[in-house]
Amino acid sequence: MGRQIEVRCKYRFGSAIVKTLDKVGQQIYPETNHKTGFNGMQEIHLATDGLPVRKSGKWAERKHHYLKNYCGITTVSMRNKFKLVYLDVMAGPGRCKIEETGEEFAGSPLIALEHDFSQYIFIEDEPELVQALKHRVAKHPKAEKAKIIPENWINYAQTGKLKFDDSTLVVAFVDPTGISQVPMSAMKILARNPRVDLLVTIQYRLGIVWNVPQYLKAKGNETALDNFLDEPTWREWEGKEAGEFGRMAVESFCEKFQRDSGFIGTRHVSIPEKNPLYRFTLFSRHPLAQNFWHKILKIDEKGQRELL
């Protein structure tokens, strides 16, 4: 009964696409997937170009600000040293829309295309979003350098097709909205590449804190949290306040991933800045990447310089 099952349902209402996702073991987990919103449901509206757009909160601009600047500093500094590859494992439709205001802005694939990588690899498993991304990328001057893979990134990684040699530096963007999309086993496959910088969203509140009671009630060791942490010690945290439980889970994930894969720990960015829903951080083996990260964190998305 502890087996984790995914149940997906799709409904169409006019121009909107509504998607739901439940994680089912003995309990229903309201964790989101990368196409869904709070409690597993979100409408994906059409953008002004007539294609599906991912609904986002205002806070997504903060994450994209740091993604853009990391791509920028890396491509400028390293383009004459390595073949540079941008990898986006949950790429989405390529465009986002703020629910409250209707404001639209580029998604991570289009942000990356503005920087001088040798190759762009976008992985997305939802057919509607794949088609939207293909249309948007096709209009870009660098379209011939982009490869769009219509598969689940975890399954694709397990085939061994995300291997790069020592002459390639990979900047990988891993941006889930639930921890079930980033099991430790899949993250370690990415980490096997000799030169890889991983920009990772860690779902602190949506993926962990709000699900603590369900995780603790679940039987067996096949919950999303088990697969995320790849060890059962979290069950010893019963009785911890949910926020503290979440903090310990994030620390456990980072420490194990760094230790097992040889990465340097870096500072986390809270998104939103106040009452964060998730953390955004860099995993890399090279001190220069750590320096790049600390440098771009000095100016936030509002243009405000960090006080030392």
* Domains annotated on the chain, with CATH: 55-296 (3.40.50.150)
Query: In whole angstroms, what is the distance from residue 182 CA to residue 171 CA?
Result: 17
pLDDT band of 123, cuts 50, 70, 90: very high
| Token representation of residue 4 | 């984790």
pLDDT in tens, 240-289: 999 999 999 999 999 999 999 999 989 999 999 888 999 999 999 999 99
Rounded to a whole number of angstroms, the distance between the first and last alpha carbons of the chain is 52
Query: In whole angstroms, what is the distance from residue 270 CA to residue 159 CA?
Result: 33
Helix axes 184-191, 242-261, angle to 10 degrees: 30
Residue 71 predicted with pLDDT over 60: yes
| Token representation of residue 41 | 């449901």
pLDDT in tens, 205-223: 989 999 999 999 998 888 9
Q: pTM score > 0.75 for this model?
A: yes
Query: In whole angstroms, what is the distance from residue 36 CA to residue 42 CA?
Result: 5
Return mean pLDDT, the chain. Answer: 86
The dihedrals phi and psi of 127, each to the nearest 5 degrees, come to -55, -40
Q: What percent of the chain has pLDDT over 70?
A: 85
For residue 44, the model assigns a pLDDT of 55
pLDDT in tens, 21-52: 333 222 233 443 333 333 333 455 889 999 99
CA distances from 175 to 18, 92, 108, 228 (A): 20, 10, 9, 14
CA distances from 79 to 142, 162, 170, 200 (A): 16, 21, 12, 22
For residue 307, the model assigns a pLDDT of 59
Shortest CA distance to 251 belongs to which of 271, 234, 232?
Answer: 234
Q: State the Cα angle at 287 between 299 and 184, rounded to 5°.
A: 90
The H or E element that residue 23 is part of is strand 16-24
**Please, which residues have CB within 8 angstroms of residue 16's CB and are 6 or more apart in sequence?**
43, 44, 45, 46
Alpha-carbon Rg for the chain, nearest whole angstrom, is 19
Query: In whole angstroms, what is the distance from residue 298 CA to residue 286 CA?
Result: 20
Tally of helices (H runs) and strands (E runs) in the chain: 9, 14
Residue 176 near residue 90 (C-beta atoms within 8 A): yes
Residue 29 near residue 23 (C-beta atoms within 8 A): yes
**Please, which residues have CB within 8 angstroms of residue 224's CB and are 6 or more apart in sequence?**
4, 23, 29, 31, 178, 179, 180, 207, 211, 215
